[in-house]
Amino acid sequence: MSRKVLKYDDVVQELSQAIETIAGPVVQTLSPKGGNVMFNDGTIISNDGISIARSIRVADYFQDSIIRTIRESCVRTNSEAGDGTTTSILLTSVMLKEGMRLKSEGFNGMEITRTLREASKKLLGRIKEQARVIKDDKELFNVARISANNDDKIAKTVVDTVKVAGLDGMVFIEPNNKPEDEIESNVGFNIKAGMFRPEFRTHGFAAMYSKVPVLITDKRLYYKAEAEAILRSVYDAGYKEVVVVARDFLGDCLNFLTVNHTGGAFKVLLIKEPDATDQSYESLEDLAAYLDSRVVTEKAGNLVDNITIKDFAIADRVFSDGQKSLLSKENKKKANPQLVNLLDSLRKELAKKPKDKDIERRIANLTSGMATIKVGAATQQEMQERIYRFEDSVNATRAAMRHGYLPGGGIAIMNAFNDKDYPEDYRTLFRRYTEAGLRQIARNCGKDPDTIVERVKHLQEDLDSPDIGYDALTDDCVNMIQVGIIDPYQVLQLAIENSVSAACNILSVNYFVVEENKEEDDKK
């Protein structure tokens, strides 16, 4: 397949088309009155931004490369905050269009990107000033409801679930074989380290397992023989999946386990303890106690290549992504004496050393939560659409719990605009960028964007309230905080950061080197 070199000035029209191709279907889903998108097999209708963006492919290699770059902005936002994909793509598309306008007027691409990056920091600073802390369940419910597309039932289930799981726990979402929604909860042990390599993921950006053997060791695993012994031990016991928590993974051992996982012969998840310290070993001991198992230690001479299945714990659920891992074991009628004794010991230590943060952390980790939302529906199509809304709502709610919330409906970013923050030539760009959310909501409601924006600004000034915004459901201007139309701060922060990054990557380019269309190559 041959390559061709394209000059920016010669592909402006194709660039604009690529932006519209990905942004058009995604941004029209914004707000409660936004539309859905049907996939080509006719089985899934979705207003989930990340799913729509991932489904968009075009035959033209140049346009597809631009679409991939824009899509990356929403993927990064989704992977970190779990929501905000539509906003990311909307902001990226607006910044690209406005940046292209500046380039057409003779502005240097590198100078544009430098200015955009610097100015966006001021914008983020003004948005952070607006962030508010979640104070009660009502505010939590409002965040959950907005992200669930105003579904009160989903919002209530989400609030109940995240309270069960806790801030450091895990929430799983899966189909139910019944028509109603259900919540299952149990505790889990949290490790502040994710999967050792992204190749070990099994579901999207994460790895998830049920009823899986877990080996806990303080060794640095290096040799292929060690890896073979691990797989052989669990395979002989009837398993084809394994989780290994170790001090480190190196050399032939790592390569052997990676190849087995990616080749499909054996599913493997490797989790490295974040610090090779005495405290790290203490964490391994805590995990072993929690899972009613033991640490295969270097000091005791328990070599990994001599292990048997008896050296493995069985975890009921394991979740791991790029930042964290959580392992759970069901609470049996008969208490785990190893865990009970450890907790008793830690609580006695805490009584002697009140407010000892390390002891408090260990107790919390041994008793933290994990919850599963089982989503019910009448049809598979409805089930998938509801799962998307549950996922957005859970992620947005937890983001708000961690980092606070803002008035929603595109108001927070619009209020953050101050023309004094930007060079004169860039003020129009940032005004359109910061008004993009409100304008798109108005457009999706069949309203004139200019009229809605002016109406909101006029009322904000008259009522001396920056919280006044446009309620798409009632077609009225209201106090967004009071009626519960709020957005997580982290979601908007990441949407801005990632949209600026994606737009600048494209605007800085003067030449594109792309593959020619394969079908055309075959004809030559």
Do 39 and 53 fall within a single domain? yes
Any idea which of 9-13, 16-20, 127-131 has the lowest mean pLDDT?
9-13
- In three-state secondary structure terms, 256 is helix
Number of structural domains found in the chain:
3
Do 102 and 239 fall within a single domain? no
Task: Please give the share of the chain, as a percent, with pLDDT higher than 90.
Answer: 48
What average pLDDT does this structure show over 295-303? 74
Helices (H), 152-223: 152-165
**Predicted pLDDT of residue 305:** 67
Phi, psi of 298 (to 5 degrees): -75, -45
| Contact call for residues 325 and 283 (beta carbons, < 8 A) | no
Write the DSSP symbol of residue 516. Answer: P
| Tens digits of residue pLDDT in 265-282 | 899 999 998 765 445 567
| Predicted confidence (pLDDT) at residue 416 exceeds the cutoff of 60 | yes
Integer-rounded Cα radius of gyration of the chain: 26
For every residue of 447-467, which 3-state class applies, written as one string?
CCHHHHHHHHHHHHHHHCCCC
Residue 77: which H helix or E strand, with range? Answer: helix 61-81
| Predicted confidence (pLDDT) at residue 36 exceeds the cutoff of 80 | yes
Query: In angstroms, rounded to a whole number, what is the distance separating the alpha carbons of residues 144 and 161?
Result: 11
Do 13 and 148 fall within a single domain? no
Could you say which of 333, 358, 373 is where a domain stops? Answer: 373
**Predicted pLDDT of residue 522:** 41
| Predicted confidence (pLDDT) at residue 51 exceeds the cutoff of 90 | no
Do 176 and 227 fall within a single domain? no
Encoding tokens for residue 405? Answer: 């919330």
Do 397 and 411 fall within a single domain? no
**Pick from 381, 440, 388: nearest CA to 39:** 381
What average pLDDT does this structure show over 137-166? 88
CB atoms within 10 A of CB 357: 8
- What is the biggest distance separating any 2 CA atoms in the chain, rounded to whole angstroms? 81
Find the length of the chain: 524
Query: In angstroms, rounded to a whole number, what is the distance separating the alpha carbons of residues 319 and 328?
Result: 9
Q: For residue 204, give the CATH number of its domain.
A: 3.50.7.10
Q: For residue 392, give the CATH number of its domain.
A: 3.30.260.10
Encoding tokens for residue 95? Answer: 């910044």
Placement of tokens 């009522």 in the chain: 463
Q: At CA 31, angle to CA 98 and CA 480, rounded to 5?
A: 95
If one compares 48 and 109, the residue with the highest pLDDT of the two is 109
| Predicted confidence (pLDDT) at residue 205 exceeds the cutoff of 60 | yes
Strands 468-471, 405-407: parallel, antiparallel or unpaired by DSSP? Answer: unpaired
Phi, psi of 266 (to 5 degrees): -155, 135
Residue 45: which H helix or E strand, with range? Answer: strand 45-46
Crossing angle between the packed helical segments 278-290 and 357-366, to the nearest 10 degrees: 30
Do 359 and 449 fall within a single domain? no
Do 326 and 340 fall within a single domain? yes
Query: In angstroms, rounded to a whole number, what is the distance separating the alpha carbons of residues 437 and 408?
Result: 10
| Tens digits of residue pLDDT in 439-458 | 999 999 999 999 999 999 99
Burial class, 352, CB count within 10 angstroms (exposed 0-12 / middle 13-18 / buried 19+):
exposed
CB atoms within 10 A of CB 201: 18
**Predicted pLDDT of residue 168:** 61
Any idea which of 237-241, 434-438, 509-513 has the lowest mean pLDDT?
509-513
Please state, rounded to an integer, the average pLDDT across all residues of the chain: 87
Instruction: Write the CB contacts of 404 (distance below 8 Å, at least 6 apart in sequence).
Output: 131, 132, 133, 134, 488, 489
Residue 523 — pLDDT band, cuts 50, 70, 90?
A: very low
List 188's β-bridge partners, or say none. 328
Query: In angstroms, rounded to a whole number, what is the distance separating the alpha carbons of residues 217 and 221?
Result: 9
Residue 283 — pLDDT band, cuts 50, 70, 90?
A: confident
Do 196 and 160 fall within a single domain? no
If one compares 187 and 188, the residue with the highest pLDDT of the two is 188
Do 69 and 53 fall within a single domain? yes
Do 26 and 166 fall within a single domain? no
Q: 143 lies in which domain range?
A: 137-181+380-403
**Predicted pLDDT of residue 300:** 62
| Contact call for residues 428 and 98 (beta carbons, < 8 A) | yes
Q: For residue 77, give the CATH number of its domain.
A: 1.10.560.10
Do 300 and 416 fall within a single domain? no
Could you say which of 373, 388, 422 is where a domain stops? Answer: 373
Residue 45 — pLDDT band, cuts 50, 70, 90?
A: low
Residue 10 — pLDDT band, cuts 50, 70, 90?
A: confident
Placement of tokens 């990340």 in the chain: 50
Phi, psi of 201 (to 5 degrees): -70, 150
Do 300 and 354 fall within a single domain? yes
Encoding tokens for residue 39? Answer: 């996939």
Residue 521 — pLDDT band, cuts 50, 70, 90?
A: very low
Encoding tokens for residue 488? Answer: 């997580």
If one compares 264 and 454, the residue with the highest pLDDT of the two is 454
